[in-house]
Structure 1
Amino acid sequence: MQSEELSGSVGAALQELRARAEARRHLVTQAVADKSPAEVQRLVQELQVHQIELEMQYEELLLAQAEAEAVRAQYVDLYEFAPVGYCTLDAHGLIGQLNLSAARLLGAVRQRLMHRRFLLFVAPASREAFLGFLAQILASEQRQTCELAMLHDDGTPFFAQLEGVAVPATAAQPPQCRLAIIDSTARHEAIQALAASEARFRQLFEQSSDASLLVQHSLVIDCNPAALHLLGASLKAQVVGHRPWEQVVPAEDPALPVAEQFAGAVAEARRLGSERCQFALRCLSGERLWVECVMTPMTVGGQELLYMVWRDVTAVEEQKRQLRTEKEFSESLLDNSVDGIMAFDQHGRFLAWNRVLEQHTGRRAAELLGQDIFAAFPQWRGQPQEQAIRQVLKGKRVTRYNMPFHSQPGHYESYLVPLLGPDNELKGGLVLVRDVTERVRLAEETTRLKLRQQQEVLSTILTTQEEERKRIAEALHNGVGQLLYAAKLNLENRAAPEATLRATALSLLDDAIRATRTISFELTPGILEDFGLKIALEELCKRIPKQNLRFHLNLVGLEKPRPRPIEIAIYRVVQELLNNIIRHARASEVFIHVIHEDQHLHISVEDNGVGISPDPATPLQGIGLAGIRNRIDLLGGELTIESRLGRGTIITIELTALIVR
């Protein structure tokens, strides 16, 4: 524009100079013959002045021409080599003029582009938009702008921003459009990349399995479906617009309010770039969750946002709580165990040392854990302790009885067990040290008691045998002996008739034979061997005098054969109980039950006599019940006595695991 204005001013100056020269031309053509000298001189002076003016104007014209050439060169430089493409289009979109940048953008030399339709370089999808853009330019005096997809001359696509302005029509030229073309491919690609990135972020944001929230000015401005699910919300309006710490459960004794804690976490996130924290969350449904939160500050469009990711770690917290509970239980178990417990790894370093070992050794767990066993207890080297530990580290179980422990008096047992991992790899060993001093003492005391009981049993047996011998001797002396002596005296009496003597002697001999059979039956009842336990017990009851004592006998399941020692023991027990009732109970009625079912035998003898002491701990008087108890103990049975003074006695015997032949 400046060049055009300058060219116009130079042309106007030339026109004016020509007009003035024409005006003075008559001065030159005038005849001087009829002029006076004064007029000639004045005419010469005018011509000289006019010549000087023409020379001055010519110099001005040369200066203006040089300035016009400089301006034109500057205009050409600015137009042709501008970084933006310029072109001029007529109303039909034909290219009338364009600079080198426009030619480079369109991908052809200027000569090939002149008078071609600009629409050919617009992508087909954008041609309708270009036609509308061109119509707007021609119809408006304002600058118009648009961005179109375009094509190079070889067909490769690019994007360009077009800015156009209309040139009004004149008499010399129709209306035109001046167009600026700016290559916006890089910007368009950047915008597309940004849009794709935003789309990916939005997709990740929406489809993330973790709850994601965007916070601005301490208010939630957006959240994904996972956040709604985590908070138990059905609509975004229940979350968006609220403060993110509204659902946080305060600690029981918080040092700061929840809002201040949140502000501190945000400040740390700004300082470090990210911050991780954990808190309890109460959902809208009332459910309580543990949530791990990661805060990341970001700047979008010049505005600061806080990106928060919440992850449900309730299961992890529950596992941690369970692990803590199990650890506390294990520590409590170790500390409250009556055994000394220590553990070591595969390298022989202490892993556990409980309170019992601290009390026995005077060494604290704090000073031993992590130390080498033999560095802590060098006195174990070359001793049974070292040998046992070496065997455990080879995967063997070891038990040491009565192994001395740290120079402590008493008796100790050590159980050494290898600790194996999930794949049966050796992880170390576990040692249980048990103080069995009291157990050994009790075992020794039990042995002494058993010896004493055996001595008492032997003494009872011997006493019983002596009593039986004495009773048999008395029975033979008072019964069979007297009868035989009477028979002898009767035979020696010669004064009596022979028939009378014979009859009397035979009667006495019959009584002696019966007495002998009775004694023999009491000693060894042959009926038990010949006919079994049931018939023997029935025969036993028949032989007892029944003048003042009524018997009720209930026998069940005794047809089954049993080992002979058991049947003899049962027979003798019932016999002794009946003898005790007859001698001491002063009873009028007796109930006897002997029942054999499966491998269990039940004996119950009940009377209505004077009774005995009901306390089982009271020592039994006499050798009868003591002998019965000894028999039952030898058979592995149980004897129970229930008695009330003046109301009778019930003696119950239970025998189990009887072997039937």
Structure 2
Amino acid sequence: MKKKDKILSSYHDRIEKGIVGDKTNVQTESKEQAVLLGELQIAQLELEMQNDELSMAVSMLKAERAKFESFFNLAPTGYFITDLLGIVKEVNQVGLDLLDISKFKLTEQRLQSFILPADLELFYNLWKRLTPNGNKAGEIIRFLTANGQVLHTQVEGISLLDNFSEKNLIYLTVTDITANRILELERKDTAQRLELTLSASGIGTWSVDSENNQLFLDKYSISLLGISVEEFDGTAKMFFDKVHHEDKQQLKERLREDFLYKNEVEVEFRINAKGGKVKFVMLKGLRVEVAGDKPHLAGIIVDITKNKHIEEVRKQLDSEKHKLVYETTFAAQERERSRISSALHDSICQLLYGIRLNLQNLERSNKLPLDMTNVNELIAQAIKEIRSLSNELTPSVLKDFGLVAEIKGMVERLTSPSLKIKAKICPSVDSISSELQLSVYRIIQELLNNCIKHARATKVEIMLCVENQEIILGVNDNGIGIQSANWDTLKGSGLRAIKNRVQLLNGIIDVQGSSKGTRIRINIVNVHKYGS
């Protein structure tokens, strides 16, 4: 344009000089004017062509702007253009609809005036991150619409230099996430309530990703391991490191099997807690399969330590109650046996002695018409059996000389041509308390009676010893054998009495039966508890 202005100015100057100058130069000037006129026409043509190109560019720009405005307004996301102070310069229709306001009222207003006061700090922090040119940032911010409704939005922005104004502008996208946000908050609230409820009930939650060996535990479940949330690394290895070594392999196998076969998980195991304490826990769960996600195990974990302790106390009380019943029963039996033994010895046996003395006197005086030899033998046999019965009811040798002597005497009494009994008794047996000696005697007595009455044995071996405060009793026979080692299925009050006596003494009884005979072994520990 400046060049053309100079040409025009020169042309005008020459025209003026030509008018006032020497006429001899008119012809020369006319030629120059013609040249200049030609150049001017060319310049005019160029200007007209540039004007046409510019008009076309403006038309295309308007068309593109119209397309942009159409997309801008029809986009599902709100678009805002503001300056660095937050003053709105441009907004699409979705943005206007979100805030429920007209474009006239929103333009040239500060965007932060529509932010919920509680989220203004978030907004200003976002603005600081956007301020440097070209920076991108995002934040979840709540807007307050013109009608007072609260909107949860995802705001994303970028700061760019505007080429026309040569100023930095902020370009924002605002997406309404109110529905999802409310659902998420409700889910979190429900999860927190559930977690608090489960925690108060002594229940935690867990889930495991078997492929990645990752384990999720809530805060309560982590506390069961005796570690903090920060210490837990989320691996199954750390969890199994806390499991009692005797339960570790079983727990792994159960989880693997239940996952493969889609069984419900329910397993009890122990955890090594702090201070050497052991916790009992129960794991319950099942295989979860969600479309689009990998199947995994999930469930609850329950601290059953208190229940276990209560159960142990209950069992102990039941055991003590049963022991008290057995002790009372056995004590009553011993008193009744003592009473019967005394009656047999002091009354019936004395009468038989008197009858036999009278018969002997009559025999010596020859006053009996018949031979009374058989009668005397029968009376002697009756006296012998009554004395034996009395001794079994109340073993006097046991009271006077100890268990070793009593067992040897019992073996001699019961040994016969059809039954050979051998006994190996350690002298240390006599060191245990008299009450315990009596219980051991009754057990051996009942075992021998069982061999005689039911086992059809011809050989019986007895071994009794006390070692390291433990009574070891073994009785072997070559009879028909006990067919069941389960004492609950065996019949006979004698066998039940043996079982009850052993349980009363906290002993262990092992029975091995076969066609070649029966082997019974009884161990009673902590002998010192029963006195010396």
- TM-score in terms of structure 2 length: 0.43
Q: Determine which structure has more spread, i.e. the larger CA radius of gyration.
A: 1
**Per chain length, whose mean CA-contact separation is higher, i.e. which structure has more relative contact order (CA < 8 Å, sep 6+)?**
2
- TM-score in terms of structure 1 length: 0.36
Bigger fraction of residues in helix: 2
